[in-house]
Amino acid sequence: MEDRPLSERDVAVLALERRSWPGPGAKERVVRERLGITPTRYYQLLNALLDDPRALAHDPVTVNRLRRLREARRARR
């Protein structure tokens, strides 16, 4: 798995996570329009990417930020 590069879709998911969003619904609309997937599927892919060493190598700042957020949410449960 680590010998293959990230897919274009994986790179696009990480790029969307680097952006800031003006308000509710904007990100979900872009996910549907640009990636052609549902927001639910997007977040499933994103969550898997956070555990992928290739994603960490590609964009360590974004992946580490999202990992911290995910862990904080888990700790609140």
| Cα distances (angstroms) measured from residue 10 to each of 20, 42, 44 | 18, 10, 11
Looking at the chain, how many residues does it have? 77
Please report which confidence band the pLDDT of residue 2 belongs to, taking 50, 70 and 90 as the band edges: low
Global pTM reads 0.88
| Cα distances (angstroms) measured from residue 34 to each of 1, 4, 13, 18, 29 | 25, 23, 10, 15, 8
- 25-75 pLDDT, tens digit each: 999 999 999 999 999 999 999 999 999 999 999 999 999 999 999 999 999
Q: Which of 55, 56, 43 is nearest to 35 (CA)?
A: 43
15, pLDDT greater than 90:
yes
Supply the pLDDT for residue 23: 85
